[in-house]
Amino acid sequence: MKAIVKVVLLCAALVSAPAMAEKVAVLGVQEALLSSQAAKNFRNQLKTRFSADVKQLTQLEKQAKTARDKLQKNKDLASQEELNKMRMQFQKAYTEFQKRGKVLQQKQAQEEQAFLKQMRPKLDKVIRGLIEKQGFDVVVAKQATLYASKKIDITAQVVELLNKAK
C-alpha cells in the first residue's frame, strides 16, 4: 500500500513539474527550419537542379497518357495484334514514367536529408542561444500542445535568428 502511495506521489510530482516552470515556450522546430531563408533558397536550387528531370518526367507522363488514350479509343476498332502492340507501348511508357519518377523522388529526398543534416547544428545553436538569452525553463514542441498562446510561441524568433546566422 505504501509503495502505491509513493508511486502516485512520484507521478504527481513529475506531471506537475512543467506546471511549476516559470518561463515556458513552444517551438515548431520543423516549421522554423522550413520557413527559414536558407530553406527557401534550397527549394529554389532544388527546383533549378532538377528542372530537366521534371521536364523529362512530364514528357513521359504525356506519352503514357497518349498511349492509354489511343488504346481506349481504338479498343473496338483495332485487331487483337494491334491492341497488344498498343498495350505494350502504354506499359513501356508507364513503367518508364514510374521508374524515373521514383529515381527523381529518391534524389530529391537525399538532397533534402543532406540539407537538414547541414542545417541542424545551426538550428540547435540558435535555439540554445535563445533559451539562454530569454531564460526559458521549459520549451515544448508545438506539435505536442493542444493550445498555446501566440505570446509563448518562439518559432518566429527562431526563424529570424536562423536567417541572421551564418
pLDDT at 136: 93
Residue 152's Cα: distance from chain center in Å?
A: 24
Q: Could you give phi then psi for residue 153, rounded to 5 degrees?
A: -85, 115
Closest to 115 (Cα-Cα) out of 30, 42, 49: 42
pLDDT at 5: 44
pLDDT at 72: 86
**Segments in the chain below pLDDT 70:** 1-21
Q: How far is CA 37 from CA 32, 40, 66, 67, 163, in A?
A: 10, 5, 41, 43, 6
CA distance 60 to 93: 6
Express as a percent the part of the chain with pLDDT over 70. 87
Q: Match 498511349 to its residue by C-alpha cell.
A: 67
What are the tens digits of pLDDT across the range 141-159?
999 989 988 999 999 999 9
pLDDT at 85: 87
Return the CATH fold of 16-164: Protein Binding, DinI Protein; Chain A (3.30.910)
CA distance 131 to 123: 12
Structural contact between residues 23 and 135, judged by C-beta atoms closer than 8 angstroms:
yes
Closest to 34 (Cα-Cα) out of 138, 132, 145, 142: 142
pLDDT at 20: 58
Q: Match 502504354 to its residue by C-alpha cell.
A: 90
| 3 state SS of 135 | coil
CA distance 96 to 8: 61
The 3-state DSSP composition of the chain as helix, strand, coil percent (nearest 5) reads 80, 5, 15
E-assigned strands of the chain? 24-27, 138-141
pLDDT at 19: 52
pLDDT at 83: 83
Does the predicted TM-score (pTM) go above 0.85? Answer: no
Closest to 32 (Cα-Cα) out of 164, 165, 155, 157: 155
